[in-house]
């Protein structure tokens, strides 16, 4: 980690986050490695690089879903639009027996993710350099018990991305702010998903109005999904 007060603060905060989630020393050491790589690698695909902020904004926020995932008991998770590896990497560190695929379209981001994966040595962590729509037409189709997604797009878009990747009764967990998003319920109906819970979280003291939206795939999704890359954002699904 970067030295000085910020580094000391980061280590103390990381210790507290690990204790909150009952993580062992091996997991704590791996999370420290993640913070170091994010804060020192000039190619890390995030603007948050101060160590103490990395712990809060990325590590703590990612682990806020850990109790939800433990209830779902997934065998395989997809982290869509993984970016710098959040929430997928902290979840993989916390639960190394669970398979986690980091699905990311950017080659540069995937190169960074590959360096993190090599440093952590987690056998069930994988980097997938594909767009979500492409991956849903390939190996990823109906493959996952859980899809996690953080700070990627509006809920109607995320529902379209997630549905084709989920097995029947699989669940999407989306990190969002406190405001309801227009069109989400209509999009869920169209892609065979159902809202089954909204979990308020406060992963770190300065966080505000954080929620985890839980959608379960309860019906077969339409045959036209996934659409071509980019269509979900350009032309969101509509019941009309």
pLDDT tens-digit profile of 42-82?
Answer: 999 999 999 999 999 999 999 999 999 999 999 999 999 99
Average pLDDT, the chain: 93
Could you tell me which CATH number the domain at 62-234 has? 3.40.50.150
**What was the pLDDT predicted at 7?**
64
Measured distance CA(186)–CA(168) in Å, rounded: 19
Express each pLDDT in 93-137 by its tens digit: 999 999 999 999 999 999 999 999 999 999 999 999 999 999 999
Cβ proximity of 192 and 219 under 8 Å:
yes
Q: Is the pLDDT of residue 168 over 80?
A: yes
**What was the pLDDT predicted at 240?**
65
Task: Indicate the pTM of the whole model.
Answer: 0.94
Model confidence band, residue 236 (pLDDT cutoffs 50, 70, 90):
confident
Q: Is the pLDDT of residue 239 over 80?
A: no
Q: What are the boundaries of each domain within the chain?
A: 62-234
Q: Which letter, b or e, does each residue of 190-221 get, where b requires 16 or more Cβ atoms within 10 Å of its Cβ?
A: bbbbeeeeeeebebbeeeeebbbbbbbbeeeb
**What was the pLDDT predicted at 122?**
97
Beta bridge partners of 193: 217
E strands, 116-228, are: 125-128, 144-150, 166-176, 193-201, 210-217
**What was the pLDDT predicted at 152?**
77
> What's the angle, vertex CA 147, arms to CA 135 and CA 124, rounded to 5?
80
Token reading at 185: 């319920």
Express each pLDDT in 181-223 by its tens digit: 888 999 999 999 999 999 999 999 989 889 999 999 999 999 9
Q: Mapping DSSP to helix (H, G, I), strand (E, B) and coil, where does residue 5 land? A: helix
Express each pLDDT in 153-164 by its tens digit: 999 999 999 999
Average pLDDT over residues 74-92: 98
**What was the pLDDT predicted at 237?**
84
């Amino acid at each position: 980690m970067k030295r000085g007060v910020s580094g000391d603060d980061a280590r103390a905060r990381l210790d507290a986050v690990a204790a909150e989630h009952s993580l062992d020393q091996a997991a704590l050491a791996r999370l420290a490695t993640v913070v170091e790589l994010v804060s020192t690698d000039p190619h890390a695909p995030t603007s948050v690089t101060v160590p103490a902020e990395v712990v809060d904004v990325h590590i703590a926020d990612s682990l806020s879903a850990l109790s939800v995932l433990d209830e779902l008991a997934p065998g395989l998770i997809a982290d869509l639009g993984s970016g710098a590896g959040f929430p997928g990497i902290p979840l993989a560190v916390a639960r190394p027996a669970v398979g986690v695929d980091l699905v990311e379209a950017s080659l540069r981001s995937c190169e960074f993710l590959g360096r993190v994966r090599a440093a952590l040595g987690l056998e069930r962590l994988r980097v997938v350099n594909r767009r979500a729509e492409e991956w849903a037409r390939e190996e990823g189709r109906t493959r996952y018990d859980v899809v996690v997604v953080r700070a990627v797009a509006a809920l109607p878009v995320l529902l379209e991305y997630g549905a084709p990747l989920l097995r029947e009764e699989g669940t999407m967990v989306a990190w969002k702010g406190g405001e309801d998003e227009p069109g989400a319920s209509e999009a869920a109906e169209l892609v065979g998903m159902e809202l089954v819970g909204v979990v308020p979280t406060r992963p770190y003291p300065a966080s505000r109005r954080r929620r985890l939206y839980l959608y379960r795939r309860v019906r077969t999704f339409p045959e036209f999904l996934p659409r071509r890359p980019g269509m979900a954002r350009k032309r969101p699904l509509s019941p009309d």
